[in-house]
Homo-oligomer: A and B are copies of this chain.
Amino acid sequence: MSILVLGTVALDTVETPFGKRKRLLGGSAVHFSMSARLFTQVNLAAIVGNDFPPRHIRFLEDKGVILTSLIRSGGETFKWEGKYEGDLNTALTLDTCLGVLTVFKPVISDRESRIKNIFLANVDPDIQRSLLKRLRSPRLVGLDSMNYWIKNKRKELLRLLKEVNIYVANDQEARSLSGENNLIRAARYLKSLGPDMVLIKKGEHGVLFYSPKFIFALPAYPVDQVIDPTGAGDTFAGAFMGYLARRGKSNAADLKRAIAYGTVAASFNVEGFGLEKTSRMNKAELKGRLDKFKSCFIF
């Protein structure tokens, strides 16, 4: 089954201890697509400005991403500039240019409105909601957000949480939205806000999954050189949601394996700037790392 992702397409300028890269193709929907494409057909709903390089369009098409609902609008493409220091766990945002994001009204085709597996990557909760309304028969809806919306559009986000199946958040966001420091209590609280399941991403410390039926935790895949973590969370979500879309079901075994795939996909992402690694990774490499990963914690 195919998947539909709503999110950003961005031009990222990133500085880490390993160097600086300007105007890399990035954004939540793009990073998501790079891993989801290995499991299923990806339909991308986003907006870019008239400064968006045509080579990026060709690149995405080459990767099999369906761009029917990528809107090209007058104005600037969304740009983000950030810096990572020390342990590379937290990005310091230096500059943000929202550009065309401020006028983004997602429009999807009739075919896409029938897609059952959806990921609402990080954009304004109002935009996420407007897409959600267009769906005919969603089966599994994942939602991501960020601290900015938790602070500034809390009401809208809370409303949205009642209508999705999986809420994906990083540890800071989970703590901030729940007011709980303990991540299991945070997850339990977030679950009570509406979604069936909560997935908390902890960067280099792995992931914690919570559903009323079971708790699941994985450490991160051990990577000895983190070059640029930008997009790791979306890469995780892409493999996670992509695997579930391919399976067409989401019982405990599917969910656990999906989380494991998300974990190893994210490990590729951090090993290079932007899409350097994820644009080249293939299913066999992902599977290879998955098998190796298992031996890291089976006792």
Contacts and interface: CB of A to CB of B under 8 A. Distances in A.
Interface stretch (A100-108, A131-139, A155-163, A223-231): A223-231
A60 interface: no
Nearest to A219: B217
A225 B217 CA distance: 17
A180 to B, nearest CB: 9
A175 interface: yes
B217 A182 contact: no
16 contacts: A86-B181, A182-B225, A182-B226, A184-B223, A205-B205, A205-B219, A206-B206, A208-B219, A214-B295, A216-B297, A217-B222, A218-B219, A253-B299, A257-B299, A260-B299, A294-B299
Interface in A142-194: 175, 181-185, 188
A94 interface: no
Contacts of A284: none
Interface residues of A, number: 38
A259 interface: yes
A217 B299 CA distance: 10
A294 B298 CA distance: 8
A224 B297 CA distance: 22
A78 B298 CA distance: 40
Interface in A248-299: 253, 256-257, 259-260, 294-299
Contacts of A260: 299
A87 interface: yes
B217 A297 contact: yes
B217 A204 contact: no
A208 B87 CA distance: 16
Contacts of A215: 222, 296
Given A257-B299, A299-B256, A184 B222 contact: yes
A202 interface: yes
Interface in A54-73: none
A24 interface: no
